[in-house]
Amino acid sequence: MSTALMVIEAILCIALIIVVVMQSSKSAGMSGSIGGGAESIFGGKARGLDAVLAKATMILAAAFAVVTILLAKN
């Protein structure tokens, strides 16, 4: 059981890294963090691939957290 959870966690970890790296940047480097921008103030719904990647990130992160807690209980 513990070995299976460790394998699942490793797969989730790799998938989470890939999904996060594939996401587009939200700011223009340091100028985005210092000066801000309209999209950071008003937000904005992600569309297309960005929406899919954002949802995949949330799902993978939640699954990773659950598996990590299950591994800690064993």
What pLDDT, in 10s, does the model give residues 19-58?
999 998 876 555 555 655 555 555 566 678 899 999 999 9
- Between CA 30 and CA 36 the distance in angstroms is 9
Neighbouring residues of 5: CB distance < 8 A, sequence distance ≥ 6: 67, 70, 71, 74
32 within 8 A of 40, measured Cβ to Cβ: yes
Would residue 61 count as lying in a domain?
yes
Would residue 53 count as lying in a domain?
yes
Would residue 28 count as lying in a domain?
no
Would residue 32 count as lying in a domain?
no
Would residue 35 count as lying in a domain?
no
Domain with 8, as residue range(s), is 1-20+43-74
Does the structure show a pLDDT above 90 at 13? yes
Per-residue pLDDT at 37: 54
Q: Give the number of domains in the chain.
A: 1
Per-residue pLDDT at 47: 79
